[in-house]
Amino acid sequence: MERPQTARVEAQADVGVDVGVVPAIDDLPGDAVPDAGLVEAEVALGRDLEAYQPPTPRRDRRARRAWVRPVVGFVAIIAVLVVAWEGAKWIAGDPWDITSILGIPVTIVHDPPSRWTPVNDINLPHVWLIFESFVETDANGETLLQGLVAAALFTFRGAAIGFALGASVGLLLAIMLVHVRFLERALLPLLVASQTIPIIAIAPVIVVGLKAGWFSIAIVASYLTFFPVTVAAIRGMRSADPRAYELMRSYAARDRTVLWRLRLPASTPYLFTAFKIAATASIVGAIVGELPSGIRDGLGGTLLTSMQYYSIQPERLWAAIAVAAALGIFCFVLVVIVERWALRNYRPTEPGAAA
Amino acid sequence: MSTSPGGIDPAAPTVIAGPRAAASAASPVVELRGVGKTFGAPGGKAGARPVEALTGVDLAIERGEFVSLIGPSGCGKSTLLRIIGDLTPTTAGAVTVNGKAAARARQDRDYGMVFQAPVLFDWRTVQKNVELPLEVTGRPRQEREAKALAMLELVELADFTGHHPWQLSGGMQQRVAIARALALDPAILLMDEPFGALDEMTRERMNLELLRIWERTGTTVVFVTHSIPEAVFLSTRVVVMSARPGRITNIVPVDLPRTRGVETRELERYFELVTEVRESLRGTEGGSDGPGVPPARVRVEGLSA
Contact B277, B228 (CB under 8 A): yes
Average pLDDT, chain A: 82
Instruction: Enumerate long-range contacts of A187-196, CB under 8 Å, 24 or more apart.
Output: A191/A227, A191/A230, A194/A223, A194/A227, A195/A227
B239-288 pLDDT, tens digit each: 999 887 888 888 988 888 878 888 888 888 889 899 899 988 887 554 44
Res A1: pLDDT: 41
Q: Report helix angle A299-308 to A264-290, nearest 10.
A: 40
Helix (H, G, I), strand (E, B) or coil at A96: strand
Kindly determine whether residue A18 and residue B208, on different chains, have CB atoms separated by under 8 Å.
yes
- Residue B236: closest CA among B213, B217, B208, B260: B260
In chain A, the residue whose alpha carbon lies closest to the alpha carbon of B134 is A251
Tell me which residue of B171, B174, B203 sits closest to B305, measured CA to CA.
B203
Cβ B191 vs Cβ B224: under 8 Å: yes
pLDDT digits (tens, 9 = 90+) for A37-74: 555 555 455 445 545 555 555 555 556 677 788 889 99
Residue spans of alpha helices (H) in A93-143: 127-134
β-strand pairing of B30-39 with B111-114: unpaired
* Cα nearest neighbour of A247 on chain B: B113
Instruction: Please compute the mean of the pLDDT values over residues B198-223 and round it to a whole number.
Output: 88
Closest CB to B109: pick one of A45, A48, A252: A252
Confidence of residue A266 (pLDDT cuts 50, 70, 90): very high
Tally helices (H) and strands (E) across chain A: 15, 2
Instruction: Identify residues of B whose CB sits under 8 angstroms from chain A CBs.
Output: 85, 87, 106-109, 111-113, 115, 117, 119, 121-125, 132-133, 135-137, 156, 163-164, 166-169, 171-172, 184, 201-202, 205, 208-209, 212, 261-263
According to the model, what pLDDT value does residue B26 have? 61
Chain B nearest CA to A211, separation (Å): 45
Looking at chain B, which residue has its C-alpha nearest residue A344? B123
Which residues, in sequence order, are CB contacts of B229 under 8 Å at separation 6+? B265, B274
Chain A residues in contact with B208 by the CB 8 A cut-off are 17-18, 21
Nearest CA-CA distance, residue A55 and chain B, Å: 9
DSSP category for residue A143: B
Is pLDDT larger for residue A289 or for residue A350? A289
* ipTM, 2 dp: 0.79
- What secondary structure, in 3-state letters, does B21-74 show? HHHCCCCCCEEEEEEEEEECCCCCCCCCCCEEEEEEEEEEECCCCEEEEECCCC
Between A45, A53, A250, which is nearest B201 by CB? A45
pLDDT for residue B242: 86
Identify the burial level of A249 via C-beta atoms within 10 angstroms of its C-beta, where 0-12 means exposed, 13-18 middle and 19 or more buried. middle
pLDDT tier at A14 (50, 70, 90 boundaries)?
A: very low
Candidates B216, B222, B234, B241; CA nearest to B28 is: B222
pLDDT (tens digit, 9 = 90+) per residue, A68-86?
888 899 999 999 999 999 9
Q: Is the pLDDT of residue A20 over 90?
A: no
- Chain B CB contacts of A18 under 8 Å are 208, 212, 261-262
β-bridge partners, A98: A108
Whether A94 has a pLDDT exceeding 70, the answer reads yes
Residue B24 pLDDT level (bands cut at 50, 70, 90): very low
pTM equals 0.75
Contact A261 B132 (CB under 8 A): yes
Classified as helix, coil or strand, B303 is helix
pLDDT of residue A62: 59
Angstrom distances, CA of residue A164 to CA of A158, A227, A229, A237: 10, 13, 11, 20
Distance from CA of B299 to the nearest CA of A (A): 28
Secondary structure in 3-state letters for B133-155: HHHHCCCCHHHHHHHHHHHHHHC
Record: contact A49-B208, CB cut-off 8 A: no
**Mind listing the pLDDT tens digit for each residue in B140-181?**
999 999 999 999 988 889 999 999 999 998 889 999 999 999
Choose from A52, A56, A58, A250 for mutation: most chain B CBs within 10 A. Answer: A250
CB nearest to A252's CB, from B106, B132, B201: B106
Give first-to-last CA distance, chain B, whole Å. 25
* Confidence grade of residue A210 (pLDDT, cut at 50, 70, 90): confident
* Amino acid occupying residue B174: Q
Closest chain B C-alpha to A20 CA, distance in angstroms: 6
